[in-house]
Amino acid sequence: MPTTGRLVAVSGALLLAACQSAREQPRPITIARDAFAGEALYRGTLEIRDGCIVAPSYQRNFTVLFDPDVVLTESGDGLYEPRTGNTIQFGHKMQGAGGNLRENGKGWPISYIERFYGVSIPRACPKGNVMRLHKMEEVAE
């Protein structure tokens, strides 16, 4: 193989490896403005599945909509909710005010949820189960 060909092959392999190792961090889906929904007590965990932040429940995962100011922690291992000052680590037990907007494909249509809350639910996130969650805090194991 000529030197130029080897250089192109090595460059391509390095670029491919960089793309595969640089995974994009999931971002919380935050609503555009404060809106009512989600006052029932939710207890469980938050986890990352297929690039989405979800609330796992038995045999299904719920896509979660958060308040406008909720952000991923700097380390990427949880969420920070400024209104409560609480940090929620992925996989740790937590509780918060929650409400199901859609469960098992029933409830608000996805187009209505996206329009009402000013969000765009990524393609990889569950659309059959969607909940709103706020006022979060970790609880003792």
Quote the pTM value: 0.80
- 104 in a domain, yes or no? yes
Residue 125 maps to which CATH number?
2.40.50
pLDDT of residue 6: 53
pLDDT tens-digit series, residues 45-59: 999 999 999 999 888
- 130 in a domain, yes or no? yes
- 95 in a domain, yes or no? yes
- Angle, vertex CA 126, rays to CA 120 and CA 128, nearest 5: 100
Q: Are 131 and 101 in contact (CB under 8 A)?
A: yes
DSSP string of 36-87?
A: ----EEEEE--EEETTEEEEEETTEEEEEEE-TT-EE-TTSSEEEETTTTEE
pLDDT tens-digit series, residues 52-81: 999 998 889 999 999 999 999 999 999 999
- 34 in a domain, yes or no? yes
Q: Which domain holds residue 127?
A: 25-138
Which H helix or E strand runs over 97?
A: strand 94-103
Cβ-based neighbour number of residue 116 at 10 Å: 14
Q: What number is the average pLDDT over the span 114-138?
A: 95
Q: Are 43 and 85 in contact (CB under 8 A)?
A: no
Q: How many domains does the chain have?
A: 1
- 13 in a domain, yes or no? no
- The 10 Å CB-count burial string (b at 16+, else e) for 29-51 is bebeeeeebbeeebeebbeeeee
